[in-house]
Amino acid sequence: MANKVKFDRDEVIDKATLLFWQQGFGGTSMRDLQQHLDMRPGSIYASFGSKDNLFKEVIKCYGEQCLQALECFQLDASSPLAGLKSFIHHVTLGEEEPGQCRLCLLAKTLSELPAEQQELIAAAQQALLLVEDKFEQILLRARELQELSPGADCQRLAKWLQMQLMGLRAYAKSQVGKAELEMMIDDIFTSLKSR
């Protein structure tokens, strides 16, 4: 009779996400995972195959959570751009102090992984592309509702917005105040509407 799984997979992924966020992929050892996840190495390998596979699953789940959050903010907003602005405000400021803001796990992954980790880099790039595609869909709706100019290149704007968000989250790690970050978010959306 096969052994039954004795852990909640989603909970393990959440714990692993936090650990990878704090320490990065390269800074996280199997011993760190074992202690943080409260799992034996054999259980980790049996469930995920390797540290790389666990990390790919973390990246996939993180990307899906970003997409779900984007959709939730759209449903709760009065307009596409209002929902997008609320999402960016949340992921930049959230519940944390501005100096405590976590870098986007996807951007952090791309900046920290060495070139020989192509499979993990590709997983992070794919997740970023899915978020960028969602930005484009939202911007297309905004253009249809005349929140953006009729000639707005929504694909280009989605890339630009992704870049702004990545930079803003990195900048939020400095000791800049919440009010200043809110002004920067306002500036991003003022600029977005004028493009």
One digit per residue, pLDDT tens: the chain, 195 residues?
445 556 788 999 999 999 998 899 999 999 999 999 999 888 898 999 999 999 999 999 999 999 999 999 999 999 999 999 999 999 888 755 444 445 588 888 998 999 999 999 999 999 999 999 999 999 999 999 999 999 999 999 999 999 999 999 888 878 788 899 999 999 999 999 988
Question: In this structure, are residues 69 and 165 in contact, taking their beta carbons and an 8 Å threshold?
Answer: no
Quote the pTM value: 0.87
Question: In this structure, are residues 12 and 18 in contact, taking their beta carbons and an 8 Å threshold?
Answer: no
Angle formed by the axes of helices 80-92 and 154-171, nearest 10°: 20
Angle value at C-alpha 89, between 148 and 187, nearest 5 degrees: 50
All structural domains of the chain with their residue ranges: 53-194
Question: In this structure, are residues 54 and 120 in contact, taking their beta carbons and an 8 Å threshold?
Answer: no
Task: Write down the CATH superfamily of domain 53-194.
Answer: Tetracycline Repressor, domain 2 (1.10.357.10)
List CB contacts of 163: < 8 A, sequence separation 6 or more: none
Distance CA 46, CA 31 (A): 16
φ and ψ at residue 28, rounded to 5 degrees: -105, 115
Within 10 Å of residue 171's Cβ, how many Cβ atoms? 15
CA atoms in the 13 A half-sphere facing the CB of 64: 10
